[in-house]
Amino acid sequence: MPRIELINVSKRWGSFVGVDHLNLVIEDNEFITLLGPSGCGKTTTLRMIAGLETPTEGKIIIGDTVVFDSQEGINLSPAKRDIGFLFQNYALWPHMTVYKNIAFGLENLKWKKEDIANRVDEVCKMLKIEQFKDRYPAELSGGQQQRVAIARTLAPNPKVLFMDEPLSNLDAKLRGEMRTELKRLHKDTGSTFVYVTHDQLEAMTLATRICLIETGVLQQYDPPLTVYNRPANLFVADFVGNPTMNFIKSKAVILDPRTVDLDVYGVKVRFHAEQDVQLNSEDVVLGIRPEFLDINKKGKIQGRAFAALPAGMETTVKIELGGNLLSSVKFGAVNYKTDETIHFDIVGDGIILFDALSKRNVSLGSVEIL
């Protein structure tokens, strides 16, 4: 069964580095999202696995076959890799009907006529587009085109399915529906899905594992909740989560390997780490998720309400502390008056200490206010 392995894969254009020594193992039947800001190399990575782009160096293995090896000069064409690819703009052929679009790939595989007809019917039923079979792509709405594109990709029963930001052209409501259907489809087809997106919510909700990339370098490759709770470095911590994590620059005073004294915008705190702390210098960054800033009347820290943004289910509160802004999230619609005094605590054991120089996650821990 297909297990995809990338070994030291790089892609360069002249002196520009698109992907830098990427090592990645995608297990069978996984749903992987390649996540990162635009231009980080995630689409390039996907296209290299699919064979649409040739890596500068490295080795790619799908199942038991080496599909690319720069040393050996192996480079299998996309057609021989037994994959499906769903394009961002669907890439439906405008001069063919929906039926022809889906059947075209099967014709290339030299399927029998009746087999083709049966299979097209089957995928059309699965994606609820039977009534559009004789229409041209231009006569369909965005969501319908999306379904046709998925049907076309699924028709030859690919073992691996690649998707390049397939939902980015849909409106918010439709995107939500398609997300549910994709997750269901992953279950039903039993194929391996590799999915590119820049939308962290999409990545969090769909994936079994997230592969976070920045400027061509792999940042973290873990299940969504691990990525959220235990980000490997500052970039991951900043990229994942909405509202974003609060970052507080500070100087660290190490008391013992697991206890560090810090200064949070004028408030002295003590950080109790869950593992021994090793730092490159005394410069550190304390990362606190908004949900760990607990606003309550008895809170030990006193700040000022800068703005409250109620969204119905939860309210984001911007707190001003010593001239800096912190975000906090409170369940339910709570309104604070601007400039009102707010008391809050730093709670939980998911507070993260980062090394400011190497930007790496040093340890998780809890904070005690002195």
Contact residues toward another protein (CB under 8 A) are 8, 13, 15, 17, 20-21, 23, 50, 52, 54, 57, 70-71, 73, 75, 77-80, 83-85, 87-89, 91-95, 104-105, 108-109, 152, 156, 217, 233, 280, 357-360
For the CB of residue 172, give the shortest distance to another protein in the complex, in Å.
23
Strands 31-35 and 192-197: parallel
Q: Which is nearer to another protein, 152 or 330 (CB)?
A: 152
Q: Which is nearer to another protein, 226 or 366 (CB)?
A: 226
Residue 97: how many other CB atoms lie within 10 Å: 17
Provide the H-helix boundaries in the chain.
42-50, 98-108, 113-126, 142-154, 172-189, 200-206, 224-229, 234-239
Q: Which is nearer to another protein, 84 or 241 (CB)?
A: 84
Task: Give bridge partners of residue 85 from the DSSP assignment.
Answer: 162
Q: Which is nearer to another protein, 2 or 84 (CB)?
A: 84
Q: Which is nearer to another protein, 156 or 299 (CB)?
A: 156
Among 324, 326, 366, 331, residue whose Cα is nearest residue 344: 326
Q: Which is nearer to another protein, 35 or 149 (CB)?
A: 149
Backbone angles phi and psi of 273, in degrees to 5: -85, 155
For the CB of residue 360, give the shortest distance to another protein in the complex, in Å.
7
Distance CA 291, CA 334 (A): 15
For the CB of residue 45, give the shortest distance to another protein in the complex, in Å.
16
Q: Following DSSP, what letter does each residue of 94-111 receive, concatenated?
A: TTS-HHHHHHHHHHHTT-
Distance CA 210, CA 350 (A): 20
For the CB of residue 96, give the shortest distance to another protein in the complex, in Å.
8
For the CB of residue 311, give the shortest distance to another protein in the complex, in Å.
33
Residue 93: how many other CB atoms lie within 10 Å: 12
For the CB of residue 102, give the shortest distance to another protein in the complex, in Å.
10
